[in-house]
């Protein structure tokens, strides 16, 4: 015996569990009987889990091995109207207002973030200048400090410490020393070939090429100096100038 749609009474239809009635394929997709994903409902209608906890839910299709949950669109609209105390005819208007507000909030948050970034950048530039160093665009450490993302996952910046401004500047001084006073470029080449040999011999190096190069460089210089040489030179030059004056006669 053929089914008849409970809504339009045309022949043909299937049982809708959500609405507990027979619906034809036309009516099933009409606005009145629409279903939607619960997550979509929350985002689109600015509702929280708490707001919609009372409405009926239904198992949706599995998407990428994950279960989905469906809700009746009409229920969601009811909840929305209750929450914002409006009549159904005002739904679209209210949604527009809410999304405008959301955009404003997002813009303000982005502005605040940008201001923080500019402030951190200025602080870092100033702190580096005390050591006669410039902010380097190629420094991941500096960039991460400025963005305040230093504790996020990263292979290039050690995670075990919470880098303060002073620590970043200290590390930048060490970098400047390595490359300008400790043959770091050559040490990097050496470390690379050493690690290649180790790999060929079947050993997996337990430190990075950079770490190994830093060790090689520091072996030759007996570690980092107490006073950075480029700052000493500056003092020397100043005193040289003084000496010149003394002996200029
Ligand atoms: Zn129908």
Give pLDDT tens digits for 1-23.
678 999 999 998 999 988 999 99
The answer to the question of residue 210 being in a domain is yes
Range(s) of the domain holding residue 3: 1-33
The answer to the question of residue 195 being in a domain is yes
Q: How many whole angstroms from 70 Cα to the centroid of ligand 1?
A: 21
**Total count of domains within the chain:** 2
Q: How many whole angstroms from 13 Cα to the centroid of ligand 1?
A: 7
pLDDT tens profile 202-238? 888 888 999 999 999 999 999 999 999 999 866 555 4
Q: How many whole angstroms from 15 Cα to the centroid of ligand 1?
A: 11
The answer to the question of residue 26 being in a domain is yes
Q: How many whole angstroms from 62 Cα to the centroid of ligand 1?
A: 27
Q: How many whole angstroms from 33 Cα to the centroid of ligand 1?
A: 10
Return the pLDDT at 245.
Answer: 39
Residues 167 and 164: their CA atoms lie apart, in Å, by 5
Q: How many whole angstroms from 243 Cα to the centroid of ligand 1?
A: 102
Q: How many whole angstroms from 73 Cα to the centroid of ligand 1?
A: 18
pLDDT tens profile 99-128? 999 999 999 999 999 999 999 999 999 999
**Residues across the chain:** 249
Residue 28 above 70 pLDDT?
A: yes
Q: How many whole angstroms from 8 Cα to the centroid of ligand 1?
A: 4
Contact 156, 166 (CB under 8 A): no
Q: How many whole angstroms from 71 Cα to the centroid of ligand 1?
A: 20
pLDDT tens profile 149-166? 876 545 555 555 578 899
The answer to the question of residue 6 being in a domain is yes
The answer to the question of residue 148 being in a domain is no
């Amino acid at each position: 015996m053929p089914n008849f749609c409970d809504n339009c009474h045309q022949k043909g239809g299937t049982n809708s569990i959500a609405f507990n009635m027979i619906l034809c394929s036309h009516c099933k997709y009409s606005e009145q009987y629409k279903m939607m994903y619960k997550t979509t409902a929350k985002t689109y209608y600015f509702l929280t889990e708490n707001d919609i906890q009372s409405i009926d839910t239904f198992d949706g299709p599995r998407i990428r091995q994950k279960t989905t949950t469906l809700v009746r669109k009409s229920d969601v609209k009811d909840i929305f109207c209750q929450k914002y105390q409006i009549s159904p005819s005002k739904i679209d208007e209210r949604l527009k207002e809410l999304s405008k507000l959301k955009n404003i909030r997002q813009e303000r948050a982005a502005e605040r973030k940008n201001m923080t970034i500019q402030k951190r950048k200025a602080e870092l530039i100033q702190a580096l200048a005390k050591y006669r160093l410039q902010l380097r665009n190629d420094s991941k450490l500096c960039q991460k400090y400025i963005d305040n993302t230093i504790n996020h996952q990263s292979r290039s910046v050690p995670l075990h410490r919470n880098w303060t401004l002073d620590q970043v500047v200290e590390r930048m001084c060490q970098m400047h020393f390595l490359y300008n006073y400790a043959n770091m470029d050559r040490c990097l080449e050496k470390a690379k070939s050493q690690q290649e040999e180790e790999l060929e011999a079947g050993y997996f190096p337990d430190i990075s090429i950079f770490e190994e190069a830093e060790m090689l460089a520091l072996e030759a210089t007996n570690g980092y100096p107490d006073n950075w040489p480029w700052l000493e030179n500056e003092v020397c030059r100043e005193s040289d100038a003084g000496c010149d004056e003394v002996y200029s006669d």
